[in-house]
Structure formats: structure tokens, C-alpha cells
Amino acid sequence: MTLPSHARIVVIGGGIIGCSTAYHLARDHRAEVVLLEQGRLTSGSTWHAAGLVGQLRSSAAITRVLKYSVELYKGLAAETGLETGWKMTGCLRLATNADRWTEYKRLATTARSFGMEMHLIPADEVKRMWPLMEVSDLVGASWLPTDGQASPSDITQSLAKGARMHGARIFEGVRVTGFRMAGDRITHVETDQGAIACETGVNCAGQWARQVGAMAGINVPLQAVRHQYIVTGKVPGLAGDAPTLRDPDRRTYFKEEVGGLVMGGYEPNPQPLSTGDIPNDWQFHLFEDDYDHFEQHLVQAIARVPALSEVGVKQMINGPESFTPDGNFILGRAAECANMFVGAGFNAFGIASGGGAGWVLADWVIRGEAPLDLWSVDIRRFSGLHRDRDWVSARTCEAYGKHYTIAYPHEEYTSGRPRIVSPLYERLKRHGAVFGSKLGWERPNWFAPEGVEPRDLYAMGRQNWFHHVGAEHRHVREAVGIFDQSSFAKYEVTGPDAARALNHVCAGDVAKAPGRLTYTQLLNSRGGIEADLTVARLAEDRFYIVTGTGFRAHDLAWIAEHLPEGDVAIRDVTEDWGVLSLMGPKARDVLARVTDADVSNEGFPFGHVREIEVAGARVRALRITYVGELGWELHVPLDATGAIFDALMAAGAGEGVRPVGYRAIESLRLEKGYRAWSADITPADTPFEAGLGWAVKLNRNTDFIGRAALEALAGQVPAKRLAGFTIDDPAAVLVGRETILRDGEAVGYLTSGGHGYTVGKSVGYGYVRHTGGVTDDFLMSGRYELVVANEVFAAEIGLAPFYDPGNLRVRA
């Protein structure tokens, strides 16, 4: 079959992700699709995948993606005539210690929040379900009855046939060799058999996705790791419908296959491949059996299933699998190329994800927007840091080693650190800083007092920093603290058309007079919140934008792609500016001692920006707060950050000024009800639902992205609304995804949670859902409880900030 000279969409890669994407593009969108596979379909890693299909994740959207996969696999054979090997065996996850059991209780709560069935069962019930198992060390197990297993190759072939049935054209034995580009757009996909002109490219090249992306200037941060499993001979007494089994405390997994077992695991000392390119001829490549490395899994597996010691090994599979630095897969439009999408890096759960990932990626390609809140897998969560292959390899190996470890709240990665530090790093260490890391930046999470070891001790309950963060929190409420927030992402938008262009992108009115600040959201066409940020107008033709550290690539690309044509430009200036946030009721007293500028409320009102001089440097001072107290963000030339910090510390000695960390910021903002993007507000939530309608300029005759969607919703009672909740019981530790009960009925789940030290309660936020609409009366007339780690606690709802001193200090 001859390659066409043109196709609307070219999908690169014929594994399960590529075939699923082509299938959904053709079936759901009737798109003209060509799929190119350099070898044969399933080559790469699909053909040797173990085939376990689980569904529950910590994200509601990703859980929905995985649930869709199961529903698709159930019915695909009826559509295409090709079997998929799907068996809904259910899955047992074993727990051998109290922390793991608490993790499962939280997962059971999450499952309930997401509408999934999950049960916690005792050891004797586990033995009944899996008689060959040794259960003497078990606390219990979780049971997900709708999980299962499938044949990766069979599913892929079935998807490929379905794609062809709906008009897609699939070409095997065609290698992509490059791209023709016009600016930041692909115009042609070049292959060893000719070029194909296209409107959109979709890189689903699996372990080759990194080097395929590099041909178009795109970074796809993957690291291939040798992943091994064995296939045993028949195991006497093993039922054909035995549940799949995950034994994370022993780092192993099992599934039944033709009377025997498939068994593998995730070791803490993985074997990465080199950081160089994957050879093109590795379509069906396996490495030599490595029983020395695999022995750690065999020992644990035999202890769990003693019958394994009596059966032979039919085959060992030792193949390359692509993993990512954070353990989440990669989807979406690349920041570097306007018409290239990526679906890769599935961390050995590509079969579980394949059906759903192809569904959402196809929709993303056609509409230009993610159909769900897919931030956790969005390729734009990465930055220039992730072009460093050695760093990516080290971090990916750490993520691989954590695949089955207990997921402690607030746990930090340790590899590749420190990578990016502010000029205050050494100063803050001397103050006892315990650092976390965000997109490579070292940021102080909390400060250990004299005599306290400066490190995190992870636990499922209150952690060792709890009371120390409380002291920092109270200090900001009562006196004044300094936060090093230099890692904020920062951009400048300039040009005669800058105001008009930004007002088109932003939902809020940013075209205010120079010297004004605007908190605003960026919306998608559905009215969902794609980002929220602060825009400072410095001059008629110059704006300064500040957003969260982790959203740097995402927000920059979103703004750049949506700026209308005109004389306007955007530039990333993150490394030009350090940020010192001076917050607390005594902040003005301290600031006044280091500047000659008028910092009175009359001279420097809330919501304004001024250029002032501090310690001999010109500083952009933004009168704004994320903690609910009087304060300023001082954006200072990076090389002056240390001198200005020292000046503020000296000037505030009488007020007891002290550095404060990010965990205090979180507790302070929770009490005040400030929303956090990617948690409380996402692309799936509108400003009306999030209680942010006041920030939208619907009353102005100005068009902006998302306006049409919001106008259609205006005046309607939303079916969900964000509300706050508190729990008095100190035993309740909120971390998010706890189920919200109204009069005993599940109506939603928490999007974020923590502790409010001023109010003395656990504080959380979440959306209350009701098909008949959520009014104030509906919210306030219910009796509320929260399900926390499978236990029910009485809760109080609040529609106003839980901390409100009444005198509006943020404006005085």
C-alpha cells in the first residue's frame, strides 16, 4: 500500500496508545487519520506488557480514563470480531502493616468519592479467595472487583481493526525520519518511504517518543528501564479466575495465565538503559534473563505463594519499558510545537490506560483542549530542566522504585537535588529550613527550631513538622514573616496591543490603569479554569504576570497560543527576579524602615503595584496576599535578593520577623478560602462553580475566551459548587479526596485539605454536587459529614472564609 501524500492527522506508533488514538479519532470524530508503525503493530513494549488492568488513581479524571478503558475492552470484541483477552477477575492489594492499611482506608474513601467499588477485607477472606497464598503476615487487603487483565497484543490488534473499520489507514514498516517545519508548526512528516503533508502530528512512539519528539524540537522526558517478569508452568490448585494480585510490601504482582502465574515486581534498584537513543531495530527486543537481579522478587514471591517453589519457569521477559520522572504518563500538545501532540511514557500501565488515553487524546487533538482535568499527565507540567537526560534518568529511577512504596502525604523526591536554588538557599539553611522541591527549585517547606533535626519524618497521621508549622502560621497571623517565593514563574507582556490582547485571554479586566493589579483566571472554551494568575500593569504597554512554580511551561504556552494577532510579545523572566513575600499585621512597620516610599494604605492601597527602592535596589512591590494578612510580594532583582532579605530581617528584629515555609502558606490560605489551581479549581470547573464569578468581566462589553460559555451559564443554578468544611475532631487528618456526605448521601469529595491553626480545626474544600442545582439554601440546609480514611466525622460547612478578622487587614 502506497503512502498518501497528505493526511489531516498522522499518528506515529502502532502500540496500544497509537492504535487507540487512531481508533477514537476515526470512530468519534470521523477524522482522516494515517497511522505509521516502523515495525509491526504492538512492537516496542506493548507486545511484552504483563496486561494487568487497574482503575483507581488519586485523580478523579485519570480514574475516569482507566474506567473507560475497562468499558471499552468489555465491548470491543463485539464491534471488531477480534477478542481482547479481557477478564474481569478483580484485584487484591495486600497490606502487611498499619501504614499500608491506613493507605488502603484512604484509597477506599477515594474509590467511594469517585464512584468505584472497593472493599477492605480481612486475611481469612483473602485466603478464601486465593487459597494458595500465605496470609499469616497480612493485616488485610483491598478488593476492587471490576479490575482485571487482558492480552495487550490482542487489544491492540482489535483497536487497529476498529480504526480501519472507521476509515483510518495503517501502514507498517514505515519509519519516521524527521519533520518539515514552518516556524513552530509541522507541515510534513518525513519517512523512509516519502513525506506526508499533515495538519497535526500525534507522537505515540513509545520508547522512541523522546527521539521522535526531538526531531521537531520537542522534549519528551522519558527513561527506559529494564522491567522483568516470569511466566511459570501450571500451578496445581490455581483457579482460572483467580484475582490479579498486588503485594506492594513485597514489591510484587501476580496474574493467572493458562494455569500458571505471571509474576513481576518493582525493585528499589532498577536498571535504566543508557540516556542515549533507543536503537530503531528494537521493535521486539528483549534482554538476556537476569535472575541475579530478579532474585529479590522471586524470594518475596515464593514467601507469598509457596507453591511457586515447586513449579518451573517457562519464560522470563526482560524488556525495556518507558517511565517518567514523576510516575505519571504524558499526554497533550507540546509547548514547543503548535500542532504536535504526545501520548507516551505509560510507566508499565499502558494497557490499563490505553483505551481511555486514546479517547481523551483524540478529543484533545480535535478540539485543542483537554476534555477532562488532565493536568497530572499534561506534557506541559515539565520544563527546561527535563531536557537534562541524566537528571531525568535519576529521578525516573527513583519514581520507579517508589511504584509500590507507601504513598505518604507530603513525601518529597530526593534524587537530583539541589538543582535550582534561590540566592537565599544557604541563609535559609542556617535558619533550619527543611526544603521541598518544585520543578527543580528548592523551596523551604518549614523551619526546624533550635535542637530539632531539620528533616521530614513521614507518617500517615500528624507528621513531625505539624506543631512547628503551626508556630510559623501563628507568627504570620500575629506579627510578620518572610516567604522566599523566588520560584514563582514570571512573564512580561509588552507592545502597543498588549492590553487588548491580554484582555482577550484573561477572564478578568486587566486593562486597568498602570499601577494596578488584577487576579484573573484564564478560561477554556467551556468556561473551565485553565490557569489563575496575577497581572500587574506596569505601563500602558507593559504587563508583569506571576503564576505558580509548577505551571511555568503550561501557563506561558497557553497565553502565547491564545494571544490574538497584533503588536504584542510575551517573554519568560522567571530567573530575572527573586520574590520575598513580607506578610503579617506588622509588615508595613518593617517595610517602612527599609524604603523611603509611602507604604501607607492611602499611598499604597491593596491591589496596586509600585516600584520602590529597598537596600539600594529597585523593587517591584505588589500589594497582594495569599495568606489573608497585610503584606507585599517584593519582586527584586535576583542578585539583590540576599541583601534585601538581610535588610528586612534587620529592620524587623523588633517585631520578631522570621522566615516561613510553604506548609504554613497552605494552612494560611485554607483558612482564608483562597483557591489552589490544579486542586480546588481546574479546567473542569467554572468560576461560577468555584465562587469566583466576581473576578469575571461579564458586565463589560469585552470579548474573552470562555465568555460565550459563561454567558450561557449565567443565571442558572450550578449543579456543583465549591464549599469549605471544618472538623473539630483532632483525629481527622485531611489530605484531599475525602468523601462529602450530606444527610448521609455522598455528594462530592474534598479537593484539598489540611489544618487551620488559627481556627483550631481541620479545614477542607470540595464541590457539593446535586443534579437539581446547588443553591445557598441547599448547601446550608444539609447535615454534613466527611469520610476520612473510611471513618465518618461530623463536619460543618462554610461559604465564607473560616478566618476573617473583620477589620479587613489586607486592605489597611
Half-sphere exposure of 800 (CA within 13 A, CB side): 4
Q: Would residue 526 count as lying in a domain?
A: yes
Domain identity same for 189 and 63? yes
Co-location of 118 and 229 in the same domain: yes
Task: State whether 212 and 68 are in the same domain.
Answer: yes
Which residues partner with 6 through β-bridges?
Answer: 197
> Which of the 8 DSSP states describes residue 474?
H
Residue 503 resides in a domain: yes
Number of domains in the chain: 4
Sheet containing 569-572: which strands, arranged edge to edge?
517-523, 529-539, 542-547, 489-494, 569-572
Q: What is the CATH number of the domain that holds 35?
A: 3.50.50.60
Same domain, 621 and 603: yes
Q: How far apart are CA 56 and CA 745, in angstroms?
A: 21
Judge if 241 and 197 occupy the same domain. Answer: no
Instruction: Write down the pLDDT at residue 812.
Output: 64
Q: Quick check: is 738 in a domain?
A: no
Radius of gyration of the chain, Cα coordinates, nearest whole angstrom: 27
Residues 107 and 248 in one domain: yes
**Cβ burial 149-175 (10 Å sphere, 16+ → b, else e):** bbbbbbbbbbbbbbbbebebbbbeebb
**Cβ(494)–Cβ(488) below 8 Å:** no
User: CA 467 to CA 143: how far, in whole Å?
Assistant: 36
In 3-state terms, what secondary structure has residue 760?
Answer: coil
Type of residue found at 413: Y
Neighbour tally for 8: CB within 10 Å? 16
- CA 665 to chain CA centroid, Å, is 20
Q: What CATH number did the domain enclosing 503 receive? A: 3.30.70.1400
Cell of 204: 505515540
Rounded to whole angstroms, how far apart are CA atoms 173 and 170? 10
Residues 335 and 286 grouped into a single domain: no
Full domain range(s) for residue 512: 486-572+686-714
Average pLDDT, 10 consecutive residues per value, the chain (812 residues): 92 96 98 96 78 84 93 93 89 97 95 92 97 97 92 92 97 97 97 97 96 97 95 94 96 94 96 91 88 96 96 92 95 96 92 94 97 97 96 97 96 97 97 98 98 97 98 98 98 98 98 97 98 98 98 97 97 98 97 98 97 97 96 97 98 97 98 97 98 95 96 95 97 96 97 98 98 97 97 97 72 57
For residue 457, is it within any domain? Answer: no
Q: Are 687 and 529 in contact (CB under 8 A)?
A: yes
Answer for the pair 207, 224: CB distance below 8 angstroms, yes or no: yes
Instruction: Output the nine-digit C-alpha cell for 125.
Output: 477472606
| CA-based nearest residue to 119, from 140, 94, 100, 142 | 142
Residue 690 to residue 626: CA distance in whole angstroms: 17
Please tell me the predicted confidence (pLDDT) of residue 53.
Answer: 83
Are residues 54 and 202 part of one domain? yes
- Global pTM? 0.96
DSSP one-letter code for 402: T
CATH number of the domain that 617 lies in? Answer: 3.30.1360.120
Tell how far CA 178 is from the center of its chain: 31
Residue 259 has a pLDDT of 93
Look up cell 493458562; give the residue: 258
